[in-house]
Structure 1
């Protein structure tokens, strides 16, 4: 950065680089480096002003085989290239929603956002190039002098649930109270009717159309008609994808 005042507008945030106290970042990095030998988590700090990772622990290389030089460049091209393509759009959207949520809070109240953690469970490439499931937590680390959202902390581990078939999952937790929140999720262009939701829930439990028809006292043809409408409304290829998608966005 140059010596003159520079501002970067992003999500209605304006950063004055002359006023950013990067000694705070140095202190955080020093602490994280000092405990690196006693933890196996991959830890990052993202700089919202410069739009790049300010810190990536070497554990990313050990855990997932990351090229740290590439991962540390501005933007997300390298990291996005390793994400499972089915999860990428969901993760980008929910990360943006989390930031938008923080920015809706009045500046004088944003310190309270440090109690909140966004927890995401998704698929990315591992050391051998095959997909693994990871669980990642994000939280606010520092505001700048103007109470802009500045530094964000990320902590990643391999998930104990190595289900490689399911879409990503996410939730918002208040670490101080333990409260779990339903995070804003995408809304389909056309919501499912109560009957369609009921049928999709039964199909998600492994029932076939005949069993669903018997359970709901309707014809198999009616069930199959509903199945086709569900697939069309959710813009997916088959009912298995519909079940996964509906679970992810909170329909069932």
Structure 2
């Protein structure tokens, strides 16, 4: 199962309640996406995870990408904007999907009132109209369903990378400026080798005492690894840690 398959499973198996967000509520977020495209000249994609539909708004940056749709708006019957994905360097596209999966789990672990504080920002290479790869800033926001904890909308923005940074991908808390750097695009580096060993043994049902004996380490060290794993995967317990790690192909 590749990352898109995992994301589809995570997105579409959420518990969307029967009560649907109103058209007025959706239009409010469509206006936000439209204004990002206008004010930042970005390409903005608003994806509805409940109905599997995307709304695309083309700012002036679309011309640089060779998309002759500046000022246009579009709707596609998928949350995957293939017209844009085909412009992203293949290595960066694979990393982008892994980062979004990690960010999805990160946001799901946050209190609902805090979720809008966070967004994901990363650097991509995208093919321009002259067939050269140019640096692009990608930003992503999730919006929850008003009635429960499911994530309803995903807003992706593509714009020129004006200021380069050493970090390839950051989760930013816009309320306080705190930044969390994700490991490099290979998600397997999220956990250390020892942490993966501990988590594999947890997944097999071993107690901390048995894990300590198996790895020839102390119980206190096992406990420390457990806490590090929960923190890195942004989960509350070992059961969730094993599930998320499998989704991220860490174990």
Shorter-chain TM-score tier: 0.5 to 0.7
2:92 is matched with which residue? 87
1:115 offset after TM fit, Å?
Answer: 0.5
CA distance, structure 2, for counterparts of residue 38 and residue 189 of structure 1: 35
Indicate the residue corresponding to 1:39 in structure 2: 40
Given that 1:142 and 1:152 are in contact with CA atoms closer than 8 Å, whether structure 2 keeps it comes out as: no
Could you tell me how far 1:157 is from its partner in structure 2? Answer: 1.3
- 1:119-141 deviations in Å (ceiling 9; x for gaps): 01110112222211100111224
Question: Hey, what's the Cα distance between the residues in 2 that align with 1:39 and 1:140?
Answer: 19
Deviations along 1:135-185, whole A, 9 cap, x unmatched? 01112244342231111222321112689xx9x911111111111113366
Contact residue 174 and residue 180 of structure 1 kept, 8 A? yes
Rg comparison, structure with higher value: 1
Given the two structures, how large is their TM-score scaled by the length of structure 1? 0.58
Partner of 1:130: 132
Change (3 A) 1:119 1:176: same
**CA–CA distance in 1 between the matches of 2:190 and 2:56?**
39
TM-score norm. by structure 2 comes to 0.58
The residue matched to 1:82 in structure 2 has which SS?
coil
Q: Which residue of 1 aligns with 2:173?
A: 174
| Gap change, CA 1:57 and 1:80, over 3 Å in 2 | closer
On the 8 A contact 1:97/1:184 being kept in 2, the answer is no
Find the aligned partners of 1:162 and 1:87 in 2 and give their Cα distance.
16
Unpaired runs of 5+ residues, structure 1, are 1-7, 193-252
User: Out of 75, 87, 104, which is 1:99 matched to?
Assistant: 104
Instruction: Please tell me whether the aligned partners of residues 121 and 171 of structure 2 are also in contact (alpha carbons under 8 angstroms).
Output: yes
Partners of 1:19 and 1:89 lie apart in 2 by 32
Tell me: CA distance 1:67–1:47, structure 2 relative to 1, closer, same or farther (3 Å).
farther
Q: Which residue of 1 aligns with 2:82?
A: 77
Equivalence for 1:51 = 52
Equivalent pair of 1:43/1:154 in contact (CA under 8 Å): yes
Question: What secondary structure, in the 3-state scheme, does the structure 1 residue paired with 2:149 have?
Answer: coil
SS across alignment from 2:86: helix
Name the SS of the counterpart of 2:138 in structure 1.
strand
Aligned mates of 1:48, 1:79 — CA distance in 2: 18
1:112 matched to 2:114? The reply is yes
The 1:42–1:63 alpha-carbon spacing in structure 2 relative to 1, beyond 3 Å, is farther
Cα distance in 1, alignment partners of residues 182 and 191 from structure 2? 20
Instruction: Classify 1:191/1:27 alpha carbon distance in 2 versus 1 (closer, same or farther; 3 Å).
Output: closer
Runs (5+) with no aligned partner, structure 2: 1-7, 194-251
Output the CA distance in 2 between the equivalents of 1:71 and 1:22: 15
